[in-house]
A = this chain, B = another copy of it.
Amino acid sequence: MPGFATTWRRRASLAAGLGICLVASAVSHPVWSQGAVPPGLAQIIAAAPPEAWRSIDPENTLYLTIPQGRVVIELAPAFAPAHVANIKRLVRAGFFDGLFVVRAQDNYVVQWGDADSKHPAGGGELRLKAEFDRPFATSDSFVPLPDPDTYAPQVGFAGDFPAARDPAKGLTWLTHCYGMVGAGRDADADSGGGPELYAVIGQAPRQLDRNVTLVGRVIEGMDIFSALPRGHGEIGFYQTQAEKIPIQSVKIAADLPAAQRTSFQVLRTDSPTFAALIQNRRFRHDDWYKTAAGHIDVCNVPLPVRTVGK
C-alpha cells in the first residue's frame, strides 16, 4: 500500500491522541510509535513536565470570530508594547466588530480591519510609531537555533515566539513565519498601529522582517484563515462586498466570563523539552525518513500549543 499517506495515517494516531495542537509548522510527519530510539515528537511532548508549559495570559489573547470559525491570536507585548496596547483599546471599543477580512493573497497573507473605518476607536490610535525591532539585553531569554539562516545573523525563540537577533547591532525582532500577525501600514513607517492586521498564510515572507510591526501569532484557527477563498483583485483583495468575510466579533479573552474562555498553554521554548523537540526535528531519521536534514529553519520548528480543562 504505497504512498506516504498510508505511513502517516498509521503513525499519526499517537500524536492525535494527545489533543495537542501543533501550530506554525509542518508537524504531522512520521514519528516513532514504538521502540526505544530515537524518541519521536509526540513522545517528547507527552513527557513534558508541567513546568514546561506556559499558560497564555487571557489579557493577551484575542478571539476573532468569522463565519468559518474562531481564530485565536496570542499578542506579543514584549516586542510591540504600544501596538498591543492600542489593538486592545480598539478591540474593547468594538472597532473590529462588523468590519471584514478584505484580502486573501495566495502564499502570502490574509488581512482584516480597515484603517479608514468610522467605527469608534475608543481612545485607540489609527497610526503609531513603528515597533519593527528593539534593543536586547544579554540577560534576555533567547533560545538560538544552531543552523544558519538566510536572512538574519541569529534566529531562535524569544518569549516563545520565533525571533531573530543581530548581536552586532544589539537588536532583536520577531520573524515573519507562518501564522505570525502584523500591523499593516502605508509607505510611512509610522503609519501602522493595528486597525489593519494581517496573518502570514504561506512561505515565510522574511523580507518583511523589520519592515512591519509584528504583534503576535495565531495559536488556533490557521486552518480557517489559510483556506479562505483567495481574492481575485490586485494582490488578493476581494473585489466585491459579497466576497468579504464579515468579522462577527473580536474579543479579548480576559473580558469574557471564565466559562466562555479557552485556556491555552504553549510549550516553553526555554524548556529542556523544547530543546529535545528541536533536536528531534533536526535529525529525523526513522523507517520513513531516509536522510535526516540535520538542520531546521526557524519557521519550520513546531511551537506546540495545548488547551487545558474543558
Contact = CB atoms under 8 A, between A and B. Distances in A.
Interface of A: 1-9, 12-13, 16, 24-26, 28-29, 102-108, 111, 113-116, 126-127, 132, 147-151, 177-179, 184-189, 191-193, 195-196, 198, 202-207, 209-212, 222-223, 226-230, 233-237, 281, 284, 287-291, 293, 295-297, 299-300
A179 B106 CA distance: 11
Contact of A3 (B196, B229, B235): B196
A127 B292 CA distance: 23
Contact of A24 (B107, B116, B179, B284): B107
A187 B7 CA distance: 6
B5 A184 contact: yes
A205 to B, nearest CB: 4
Centre residue among A237, A288, A293 by max chain B CB count within 10 A: A293
Nearest 8 A/B pairs, CB to CB: A3-B196, A2-B191, A3-B184, A28-B235, A106-B223, A3-B115, A12-B234, A223-B230
Contacts of A300: 203-207
